[in-house]
């Protein structure tokens, strides 16, 4: 399974692609961030993010997309930018018919580090260890995008198999 993880942000939108499966080693395909300048109008910034995500979807052809779920913070301007970038990611994936999963920050931290309250340094260190990298990806948005992709491979892949088995069982019952 190949997953594109997206850590949405208006200034830095992290993108990371991993490949692998549950119980198998994961492999880093690529990681980077799409950057936009705070001096530009928000609409132009969102177009830049959309173009960046579209380019990654076209180049890496993931099987699924994992996006960080936006959560409430005290700074509403940060929430708005993150939510807008998240919406762009969701639309870009949906346009291609790709399955999209939203993972909370604490779910991602728990999946990669075993601690739902891990700090950025711990998450980065575990991403580096899981993907057998010499150092954590920089900036933290890049490491977070990879952590999202890892979480989805480990959790989303299993959930997809459960849902497929349930659908097959329901179909078998209805055909009797």
Q: Residues annotated as binding site for Mg(2+)?
A: 7, 68, 141
Residue 152 tokens read as 């989805």
Q: Tell me how far apart the alpha carbons of residues 39 and 47 are, in angstroms, rounded to a whole number.
A: 14
Distance CA 35, CA 171 (A): 46
The one catalytic residue in 19, 50, 141, 144 is: 141
Q: Does the bond joining 139 to the residue before it have cis omega, within 30 degrees of 0?
A: yes
Q: Per the residue annotation, which of 7, 19, 50, 144 is the catalytic one?
A: 7
What are the φ/ψ torsions at residue 25 (nearest 5 degrees)?
Answer: -60, 145
- Catalytic residue status for 59: no
Q: Check if 68 is active-site.
A: yes
What is the residue-wise DSSP string for 33-87?
EEE--TTS-HHHHHHHHHHHHHHHHHHH--SEEEEEPP---S-HHHHHHHHHHHH
| Catalytic residue (choose from 19, 50, 68, 144) | 68
d(CA 162, CA 122) in angstroms, rounded, equals: 30
58 is catalytic: no
Active site residues per annotation: 7, 68, 141
């Amino acid at each position: 399974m190949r997953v594109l993880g997206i850590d949405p942000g208006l200034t830095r939108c992290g993108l990371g692609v991993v490949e692998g499966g549950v119980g198998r080693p994961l492999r880093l395909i690529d990681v980077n961030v799409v950057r936009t300048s705070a001096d530009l109008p928000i609409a132009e910034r969102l177009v830049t993010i959309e173009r960046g995500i579209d380019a990654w979807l076209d180049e890496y052809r993931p099987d699924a997309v994992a996006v960080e779920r936006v959560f409430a913070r005290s700074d509403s301007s940060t929430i708005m930018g993150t939510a807008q970038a998240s919406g762009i990611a969701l639309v870009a994936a949906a346009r291609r018919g790709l399955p999209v999963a939203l993972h909370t920050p604490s779910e991602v931290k728990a999946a990669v580090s075993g601690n739902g309250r891990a700090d950025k340094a711990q998450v980065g260190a575990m991403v580096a260890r899981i993907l057998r990298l010499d150092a954590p990806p920089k900036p933290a948005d890049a490491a977070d995008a990879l952590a999202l992709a890892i979480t989805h491979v480990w959790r989303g892949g299993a959930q997809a198999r459960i849902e497929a088995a349930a659908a097959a069982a329901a179909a078998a019952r209805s055909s009797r």
